[in-house]
Structure 1
Amino acid sequence: MRARVLVVDDELSMREFLAILLDGEGYLVDQAESAEDALSRMAQEYYDLVISDVSMPGLGGIELLGRIKTDSPDTAVLMITAFTTAEQAVEAMKLGAYDYIGKPFKVEEVKVLVRKALEKRSLVQENKRLKAEVQERFGFSGLIGKSKLMREVYDLIAKVSHSTANVLISGESGTGKELAAKAIHYNSPRKNAPFVAVNCGAIPDTLIESELFGHAKGAFTGAFADRPGLFEQAEGGTLFLDEIGELPLLLQAKLLRVLQEREFRRVGGGVSLKADVRIVAASNRNLEEQVREGTFREDLFYRLNVVQIRMPSLKERGEDIPALVEHFYKKYAIWSGSGEIITPEALHALFNYQFPGNVRELENLVERCVVLGSRVINLDCLPQSVREQRIAARPCSEMEIPDEGMDLQAFLDTLERKLLVQALEKSGGVKKRAAVLLGMTFRSFRYRLAKFGMEDEDQDAT
């Protein structure tokens, strides 16, 4: 995409000279005869670069620079003047000018400075984009869902992020424990320092100590040089110890010492190193039970368990399934457009499915449908196991007719009304989702609401 440049100078000959020069370099060039004219143009159009004279009638170039950096801070600015003074140059640089050119200038000098100014601006914008992407991915938006249980998770993350307390994240596999750890890190004062993650269960016992603490040259066969461990790599940031329950007892003792003393030694090293690292640990196992069994140190457990965040399973927060499906669909689908992305039948099947693999399994299901070429997620693209569970009827509690008899219609009406209310509650008042929960069409659901006089109870539901 061609960069857009605005040339500001009260001399017509200078404006036209620079415009011709820059147009020949492939830039889109506009001209302004005064600072006021430039500000008017910038209110209507975004410019990647402004080249401005310093001395102009009315508002001067230095004042224009200050306005530009206030109103459009990403725009690069080059200042040009025939009367260069050290004071002017210093003031311009303090206000954010990329550089300062004195007249007369060389054509090649202008070309180089324009190119470098635009390159620097692109690097700054790319850095901002990457930071925004990280925040988007690992801030609270990295965790999808508005259910009560997920709101409780968000509240805890918000409270612990700005502290230095160790955090223990518990929950089944696939519930998003690492996402929660990243959300804590990227919402904390340590967000610009490294986030380092390690799965304690994926590294052999003989290597885990060296992996965590590093090793000194000659510490063992093959240690040909000093090697920093994960604690050093995470300096100033966060170290995420996933599956902490798999850590051997000997390493648990060494980890406890690091948490207590805030220092460690490399394997084979004789110098203690400081550990400015926040620990976030996670486990899908019951650590309290491991403590009772003697496979996990009680003192380490309490050191880690300053604050515990429990990630709910997907079956506990089924109302988040539609939002998760939409999120993963947008992640994997190569086509764009509005409209239905999942049929009511398929969504109903997902609601009934138990999801032993939790959110990770749901993501895989959505990716599977996209890979199979389904523009709309339907029953045909879902695995047989999901479809079969939908067909299986859930058993009702056994009940007997009272000896004195019963009013069957009144009983059924009461039950039906109760289920309608529950569906609305679980769907957050969204009637279309509530209809899906009950396996009926939206029209049938509206009919039943009207039947029991409930249609006006939630006018905002859609």
Structure 2
Amino acid sequence: MSVQDRNLKNRARVLIVDDEFHVAHAAAMVLSQAGYECETCPTVEAALKVLECKGADVIVADMRMPGMDGMDLLKKVQSKQPDLAVVVTVPLPAAESAKAALRGGAFDCVTKPFDTDELNAVVGRAVEMSTLQRENRKLREQLDVASIAAGFVAEAPKSRQLVAMIRRVAPSRTTALIEGETGTGKELVARMLHYWSNRADGPFLAINCKALADGVVESELFGHEKGSFTGAIRERAGCFERASGGTLFLDEIGEAGSDFQAKLLRVLEDGEVLRVGGSRPRKVDVRIVTATNRKLRSEVAAGRFRADLYFRLSVIPLKIAPLRERREDILPLAHHFLAFHSTDAGRPLMLSPQAEEALLSYSWPGNVRELENIIERAVVMSGQETLMPDAFAFDDDDSDEDLGAGLDPVSGPGAAPGSTIDSNHARRAARPAESKDEGTLQTTLDRAAAVRIKAALAAAGGNRVEAATTLGVDRTTLYRLMKRLSL
């Protein structure tokens, strides 16, 4: 099949940007006859608007235009849509401009006046490259989601039932409500619903409802037109439009205010959105998946959540059991996280039988997220290849003595041979009651990590490579931790 035949079948879209009307029109005529769908724009500003609303497969842009030129457009496209091929056009003598464009990431350069065969050939190669890059990116995204989904351990009966339910309901476009405690993996379930649906090729957009103030809800959800309010310097598509053809995940829906709830209900009922300042409703094809760590039925009974919206959202309810109720998942999850973070640290680690017993004996108030944090902290802080119970900083540990158990500022952490979870609990029970540290578990872990890193740096005289070796982590991991802890 020839390039022209493929273009006629798939109708690749080419955006031609040139301030000379007759030049742009001539290029559009040539490419249209070759089977491309063409649109012309006289300015870079107009082209950016068309890109946001309609998109394109290839851009053919003049290097020399008044105001923003082809190089400006190339830079903006490179930053926002690196898969989109840009072909620049230059007058025949402008060799330096062409070189600059190619160095800046342009796919190729065509001289003006156009040679019909050359223009067709270059645009054909650009379309094929753009298509290949987009397909590769989608494959990478699907592999990422597949990897994430594989990380959803389902050994416990409740977990197996949940996965079976997700697979059964994923192909529909019915709204789903995911309920579960903080840290149970609600967004992961939402991504699995998307990945196993026929919308997997479409976008997955996650929005935290708690982060949307009442004053910006309408603009964020539905978008706005240019000049519709102070600061609206250009039109902008809202969440529903950006997620059209895919899945919109609204996390922490129980935190949504009354204004948010009313506007969301309207979209669910009408299937269309009206931008702020707009006059024409826009149809959207999007599946809504919501999540909450609250009991929405109780919120409805208390008058804090609309009953009509609740019944719209909970057509398919999915409940994730807390980790303490699916203990068969604890060790498989721990081994999964240990393998991941051990690879990141560049050294193999394993759990001792006593460490496994400690993990099974803990109540996990922070669920899967807490388990991963504790495993990551143990990988960073431990200097041994086999993790013992003292490597873990559980939320029921009473003091910095426990957090630093076995930690030596120079030689690294370690647990006494033969120490067991029973002796650890007995030691804690035998101590007089002390006031607990304030803050979250992650805050406590960060404080302990900061103390350990500072000690290692001091012992190494500020040499980060030596400090990383002492801590048993690679240099990149140490730099990342220092940046996160502001050290």
- Could you state the TM-score of these two structures normalised by the residue count of structure 1? 0.55
What residue number does 2:351 align with? 342
Q: Provide the secondary structure at the position in 2 that maps to 1:201.
A: helix
349, 356, 359: which one aligns with 2:368: 359
Q: Deviations over 1:286-322 (max 9, x none)?
A: 1111111111110100000001000110101111111
258, 275, 278: which one aligns with 2:284: 275
Residue 311 of structure 2 aligns to which amino acid in structure 1? Y
What residue number does 2:266 align with? 257
Q: Deviations over 1:147-174 (max 9, x none)?
A: 1010011111011101111000000000
Name the CA distance, whole Å, in 1 between partners of 2:395 and 2:286. 44
* 1:183 maps onto 2:221 in alignment: no
Residue 163 of structure 1 aligns to which amino acid in structure 2? S
CA contact (8 A) 2:154 2:163 kept: no
The alignment covers a number of residue pairs equal to 277
What residue number does 2:313 align with? 304
142, 146, 150: which one aligns with 1:136: 146
Residue 344 of structure 1 aligns to which amino acid in structure 2? P
Aligned pairs for 1:268-417 within 5 A? 268-334=277-343, 341-374=350-383, 375-383=385-393, 385=395, 391-392=424-425
What residue number does 1:227 align with? 236
What residue number does 1:59 align with? none
What residue number does 1:46 align with? none
- Greater Rg, structure 1 or structure 2? 1
CA contact (8 A) 1:216 1:269 kept: yes
Question: What's the CA shift for 1:145?
Answer: 2.6
Name the CA distance, whole Å, in 1 between partners of 2:216 and 2:361. 43
Name the CA distance, whole Å, in 1 between partners of 2:251 and 2:394. 32
Distance 1:294 1:128, change over 3 A: closer
Q: Deviations over 1:381-402 (max 9, x none)?
A: 1115456796558xxxxxxxxx
Bigger shift: residues 293-302 or 374-383: 374-383
What residue number does 2:223 align with? 214
Question: What's the CA shift for 1:129?
Answer: 5.3
Distance 1:128 1:171, change over 3 A: closer
CA contact (8 A) 2:342 2:379 kept: yes
What residue number does 2:18 align with? none
CA contact (8 A) 1:350 1:386 kept: no
CA contact (8 A) 1:287 1:301 kept: yes
Question: What's the CA shift for 1:254?
Answer: 1.3
Q: Provide the secondary structure at the position in 1 that maps to 2:351.
A: coil
Question: Which consecutive residues of structure 1, in runs of 5 or more, have no partner in the other structure?
Answer: 1-115, 394-462
Name the CA distance, whole Å, in 2 between partners of 1:313 and 1:131. 28
CA contact (8 A) 1:145 1:324 kept: no
Q: Provide the secondary structure at the position in 2 that maps to 1:333.
A: helix
CA contact (8 A) 1:349 1:387 kept: no
Name the CA distance, whole Å, in 1 between partners of 2:245 and 2:135. 26
Name the CA distance, whole Å, in 2 between partners of 1:270 and 1:122. 38
Q: Provide the secondary structure at the position in 2 that maps to 1:231.
A: helix
Name the CA distance, whole Å, in 2 between partners of 1:351 and 1:291. 36
Q: Provide the secondary structure at the position in 2 that maps to 1:269.
A: coil
What residue number does 2:37 align with? none
Name the CA distance, whole Å, in 1 between partners of 2:272 and 2:135. 38
Aligned pairs for 1:28-39 within 5 A? none
Residue 367 of structure 2 aligns to which amino acid in structure 1? N
CA contact (8 A) 2:331 2:359 kept: no
Name the CA distance, whole Å, in 2 between partners of 1:300 and 1:236. 22
Name the CA distance, whole Å, in 2 between partners of 1:163 and 1:134. 22
Q: Deviations over 1:235-280 (max 9, x none)?
A: 1000000000111112211111111110011122221011100000
Name the CA distance, whole Å, in 2 between partners of 1:120 and 1:259. 35
Distance 1:122 1:341, change over 3 A: farther
Residue 258 of structure 2 aligns to which amino acid in structure 1? L
Distance 1:304 1:173, change over 3 A: same
Name the CA distance, whole Å, in 1 between partners of 2:214 and 2:359. 40
Question: What's the CA shift for 1:205?
Answer: 2.1
Bigger shift: residues 246-255 or 308-317: 246-255
CA contact (8 A) 1:243 1:282 kept: yes
- Could you state the TM-score of these two structures normalised by the residue count of structure 2? 0.53
Name the CA distance, whole Å, in 2 between partners of 1:336 and 1:385. 27
Distance 1:157 1:223, change over 3 A: same
Distance 1:385 1:245, change over 3 A: closer
Question: What's the CA shift for 1:285?
Answer: 0.5
Question: What's the CA shift for 1:189?
Answer: 0.2
CA contact (8 A) 2:142 2:195 kept: no
Residue 143 of structure 1 aligns to which amino acid in structure 2? F
* 1:171 maps onto 2:202 in alignment: no
Q: Deviations over 1:376-426 (max 9, x none)?
A: 322221115456796558xxxxxxxxxxxxxxxxxxxxxxxxxxxxxxxxx
Q: Provide the secondary structure at the position in 1 that maps to 2:248.
A: strand
Q: Provide the secondary structure at the position in 1 that maps to 2:177.
A: strand
Distance 1:266 1:129, change over 3 A: closer
Residue 379 of structure 1 aligns to which amino acid in structure 2? P
CA contact (8 A) 1:242 1:281 kept: yes
What residue number does 1:78 align with? none
Name the CA distance, whole Å, in 2 between partners of 1:281 and 1:222. 30
Distance 1:325 1:295, change over 3 A: same
Distance 1:246 1:127, change over 3 A: closer
CA contact (8 A) 2:374 2:394 kept: no
CA contact (8 A) 1:142 1:179 kept: no
Name the CA distance, whole Å, in 2 between partners of 1:352 and 1:221. 57
Question: What's the CA shift for 1:336?
Answer: 6.9
Name the CA distance, whole Å, in 2 between partners of 1:121 and 1:166. 32
CA contact (8 A) 2:290 2:313 kept: yes
Question: What's the CA shift for 1:137?
Answer: 2.6
